[in-house]
């Protein structure tokens, strides 16, 4: 089954012109965590990490992740 969650981290990072290493440093999370979310290979995310990323990117959780509609692939 395909992942029903879409992560918009790569788009937000591009809009803010921030790279993975800088985001990891600002948010206080591992570079591998940022990388797996950026490439949408993460199996999940903790509330703590989600909150840290949102604070570092000045965004809300709904800006970062969304539930795909059933027709999306």
DSSP string computed for the chain: ---SEEE-HHHHHHHHT--HHHHHHHHT--HHHHHHHHTT--S---HHHHHHHHHHHT--HHHHEEEPPTT--
**Is residue 64 over pLDDT 90?**
yes
> Is 18 inside any structural domain?
yes
Statement: the pTM of the whole predicted model exceeds 0.85: yes
**Is residue 13 over pLDDT 60?**
yes
> Is 46 inside any structural domain?
yes
> Is 73 inside any structural domain?
no
- The CATH number of residue 11's host domain is 1.10.260.40
| pLDDT band (50, 70, 90) for residue 70 | confident
Q: What is the pLDDT of residues 30-62, one digit of tens each?
A: 999 999 999 999 999 999 999 999 999 999 999
> Is 20 inside any structural domain?
yes
Number of domains in the chain: 1
Range of the domain at 38: 5-67
């Amino acid at each position: 089954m395909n992942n029903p969650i879409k992560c918009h981290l790569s788009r937000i990072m591009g809009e803010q012109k921030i790279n993975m290493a800088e985001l990891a440093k600002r948010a206080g999370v591992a570079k591998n965590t940022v990388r797996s979310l950026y490439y949408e290979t993460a199996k999940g995310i903790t509330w703590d990490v989600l909150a840290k990323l949102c604070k570092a990117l000045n965004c809300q959780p709904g800006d970062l992740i969304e539930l795909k509609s059933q027709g999306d692939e």
